[in-house]
Structure 1
Amino acid sequence: MNVGVVGCGAISAQYFQTIDRLPQVRLVAVADLDLDRAREAVRPYTGVDVLTVTELMADPRVDVVLNLTVPAAHAEVALAAIAAGKHVYCEKPLAATAADAERILRAAQDARIRVGCAPDTVLGTGTQTARKAIDDGLIGRPVAATATMMTPGHERWHPNPDFYYVPGGGPLLDMGPYYITSLVTMLGPVTAVIGAANRTRAKRTIGSGPRRGEEIPVTVDTHVTGVLMHASGALSTLVMSFDAAATRAPHIEVHGEQGSLVVPNPNHFDGPVQVSRIGEEGWRDLPVSAGYLEAGRGVGLADFAATPAGHEPRAGGSLAFHVLDVMESLLASAHSGAAVTIASTCERPRPVPVPTSPGDMSSFT
């Protein structure tokens, strides 16, 4: 697929590097509100046109629009791409709200357009090896999981962190997709949630770049916790925070009747998976047994491009919508104090069955 990218911010460089080395996708055009930023972003690559958004949408070469804009613009750009007859692959979350995400999927279905969405980190060897261990029965029936992300906030390092603290941002909408997508990949869809949330400070101070020292308002919850009830019966406890100095908690643990797994950071593609079974002493590393090797951001787009017609991509729109629905429902529960039933569902995405190079076309079928 020929790829046109809208949005050339910080994350775009990682996508460009991955696209450049994979045969399933080819970068042909980029667009950004700041054309100079777009030109600088693609300077290392030859044959890539810098266009306006309108020009990119009209370009007949572009098969799929890679939407790397801020969350508040995800729906607008995705709907414009669909109207132009382009497939869409979006940076997470699929949209700032579940209602907007539903509009995207409905428009895509009507136009017979496919939608994919990050995160694709779950396609790497970390989460996929853990999933295979669970599916193979290594820890018995899963009964519980914990997922923990606690930092002081992204304003310490990001020069323009405003969008992290407006609707569509916050620790849950920003980092939650990695953790919840991993939990759904391993344990299946979520049927209900109950949550609690708060915000510690009304303002944040930018810590780097030309705006260093500038204060920005906080309009979203910055500490969110809750319990996810999976259709499988497992219960996942989630903590997402921009209000903590540090944590020693594992990113994800999964506990079964016969043992427990430590799952690596779902914001990364790889990392050791550890197991401790009843009757064993301590923890041992599992060998890599599934997932795309040496993957980078954009491997989900390549998977999307190579997925046969009629099949849902592993990083597909229905999974992204379900994850967004779970997050939005968790916030609703936090504000109401009552459990919320999740209206949506999804299939567990197909596993990446063996360790394989993302450049191997046969691995995507």
Structure 2
Amino acid sequence: MAGAPVGVGIIGAGNISDQYLTNLTKFPDVRVLAIGDLLEDRAREQAAKYGVPTAGGVDAVLGNPDIEIVVNLTIPAVHVEVSESIIAAGKHVWSEKPIGVDRESSLGLLEKADAAGLRVGVAPDTVLGPGIQTAKRAISRGDIGRPLFAQTSFQWQGPEIFHPNPAFLYARGGGPLLDMGPYYVSALIHFFGPVAAVAALGLKGSETRRVQVGPQAGDEFPIEIPSTVSVLLQFEQGAQAQSLYSTDSPLFRHGVVEITGTEGTLVIPDPNTFGGDIRITRPLAEVVIPPAPVIQEIVEVPQEGVLVGRGLGLLDMARSIRADRPHVATGRFGYHVLDTLLSIEESVESRQFAQVTSTIDEIGSLTADFDPFAATL
């Protein structure tokens, strides 16, 4: 309805719903009208906590005629099933990552949405935060010359040091690649465009691990997936990237993303966050012969935009629906990220390069003056 906030519903009242509700209930351009969950009491608790007028089962969301977009916060294994029910109810979908767990059903969801004239948006929307969007504008301006390659790293000793039931994070469909990979791959695609091919190697640091905290501390569980994955990405436009995803590393190093061009290296914030420091290191101005110290020019890039958190992508989608323009974090983008991650898994198994068969058109951006707290509708 033009001239009014976009009605939003949420399916899934688990832990991550707090992160969405904290922001969505503060954005003037959207209004959260209902929360639904299989555990209806949990939905009612969240509704009371955030002042949402209606709560109950899934039908409390799907049956509400004033809701235009539904946020799918269910577990990945049922993302497609729940998103299809949202489309069938005549509503747009914003889905937590990933869009699905396999190519066929995920593509089927997009086809059903297209046939119904409805939109699909897919997390992570960290790539829409001021950190990555500012860095993207710097690259587009030519601040580092022609982009050549990237290096990223996510490494630590694993979630069992804090999680009381970590086994599912080492089961099929989990692991550092599928859990954290969407943040890094999404960021790289924003910078370099679609991925053409991948190569990867994987290993297990051990065949079993032990729970370290909580009532199950000391219990062993099996490792079903590679706990370390080394990845090479080839992008359609010619750039390359090298990435490490590991839960076998005593060294704690998250959020390493370095984009190197012909005129500098751009260091950006952790892609699992919405903002942070951005800087460019320039080439040496003169020859340095060891043991003389290497001193390079470092340029700080001011971060542009309002720093918020999850819900930013849904807000862009809501405003785009009203303006009849494309939103940025589209279902097609989310599918290409999934296709890339599945291709990496296949390369690990085959020990050969794997082609990424999907592609995407030009990827949109948010403007520097995008203000989540402005009433624009």
TM-score w.r.t. length of structure 2: 0.89
Of 140, 143, 146 in structure 1, the residue corresponding to residue 151 of structure 2 is 146
Contact 2:211/2:218 (<8 A) preserved: yes
Aligned length: 361
Q: Name the residue aligned to 1:173.
A: 178
Quick check: 1:234 aligned with 2:247? no
Which of these residues, 263, 275, 300, is aligned with residue 285 of structure 1? 300
**Equivalent residues of 2:29, 2:374 under 8 A apart:** no
Look up the equivalent residue of 2:116 and give its one-letter code: A
What do residues 163-188 of structure 1 show as CA deviations (whole Å, max 9, x unaligned)? 42333321111111110110011111
Q: Deviations over 1:238-262 (max 9, x none)?
A: 1111222224576100001111111
Is the Cα contact below 8 Å between 2:41 and 2:56 reproduced in 1?
A: no
Tell me which of 29, 49, 56 is aligned to 1:44: 49
8 Å CA contact 2:152–2:244 kept in 1: the answer is yes
| SS of equivalent to 1:183 | helix
- Provide Cα deviations, 1:224-275, integer angstroms capped at 9, x if missing partner: 1111101121101111112222245761000011111111100010001110
| Equivalence map 1:263-302=2 (5 Å) | 263-279=268-284, 281-289=296-304, 292-302=305-315
Code of the aligned partner of 1:273: I
CA distance in 1: counterparts of 2:27 and 2:325, whole angstroms: 21
1:52-83: per-residue Cα shift (whole Å, max 9, x none)? 12443233232211111111111111111111
Aligned partners of 1:96 and 1:167 also within 8 Å: no
Distance 2:255 2:349 in 1: 27
Q: Cα 1:299–1:188, aligned 2, differ >3 Å: closer, same or farther?
A: same
1:358 aligns with 2:372: yes
CA contact (8 A) 2:276 2:303 kept: no
SS of residue matched to 2:50: coil
TM-score (ref. length: structure 1):
0.92
SS at match of 1:251: strand
Note the C-alpha offset of 1:219: 2.4
Tell me the secondary structure at the aligned position of residue 169 of structure 2.
helix
- Distance in 2 (CA, whole Å) between partners of 1:26 and 1:158 is 34
User: What corresponds to 1:326 in structure 2?
Assistant: 340
SS in 2 for 1:43: helix
Task: Check whether the contact 1:67–1:91 (CA below 8 A) recurs between aligned residues.
Answer: yes
Matched to 1:304, the amino acid is M
Root-mean-square deviation over aligned CA pairs = 2.1
CA contact (8 A) 1:89 1:115 kept: yes
Residue 294 of structure 1: CA displacement?
Answer: 1.7
Who is 2:160 aligned against?
155
Q: Could you tell me which amino acid in structure 1 is paired with residue 311 of structure 2? A: G
Query: How far apart, CA to CA, are the structure 1 residues paired with 2:311 and 2:269?
Result: 19
In 2, Cα distance between the equivalents of 1:62 and 1:294? 26
Going from structure 1 to structure 2, the CA distance change for 1:311 and 1:206 (only over 3 Å counts) comes to farther
Counterpart residue identity of residue 338, structure 1: Q
The letter for the 2-side match of 1:194 is A
Gaps of at least 5 residues in structure 2 are: 1-5, 286-295
**1:210, CA displacement in angstroms?**
5.3
- For residue 295 of structure 1, report the CA deviation from its aligned partner: 1.7
- CA offsets per residue over residues 34-54 of structure 1, 9 Å max, x none? 223223333322243222124
Out of 333, 350, 360, which is 1:336 matched to?
350
1:306 equivalenced with 2:339 (yes/no): no
Which structure 2 residues correspond to residues 1-365 of structure 1 after superposition, within 5 A?
1-209=6-214, 211-248=216-253, 251-279=256-284, 281-289=296-304, 292-308=305-321, 311-360=325-374
Which one has the largest radius of gyration? 2
Structure 1 residue 19: Cα displacement: 0.3
- Structure 1: segments with no counterpart, 5+ residues: none
Secondary structure in structure 2 of the residue aligned to 1:297: coil
* Distance of aligned partners of 1:360 and 1:159 in 2 relative to their CA distance in 1, 3 Å threshold: farther
Residues 172-206 of structure 1: CA distance to partner in whole angstroms, max 9, x if unpaired?
11111110110011111111111111223344444
Quick one: which amino acid aligns to residue 319 of structure 2?
A
Task: Give how far 1:84 is off.
Answer: 1.5
Which is further off, 124-133 or 162-171? Answer: 162-171
Q: Hey, what's the Cα distance between the residues in 2 that align with 1:59 and 1:199?
A: 47
Question: What is the distance in 1 between the residues matched to 2:239 and 2:338?
Answer: 19
Q: 1:163 to 1:303 in 2, by over 3 A?
A: farther
Is the CA contact 1:70–1:163 (under 8 Å) kept in the aligned structure 2?
A: no
Distance 1:61 1:216 in 2: 46
CA-CA distance at 1:159 after TM superposition: 4.1
CA distance in 2, matches of 1:358, 1:45: 18
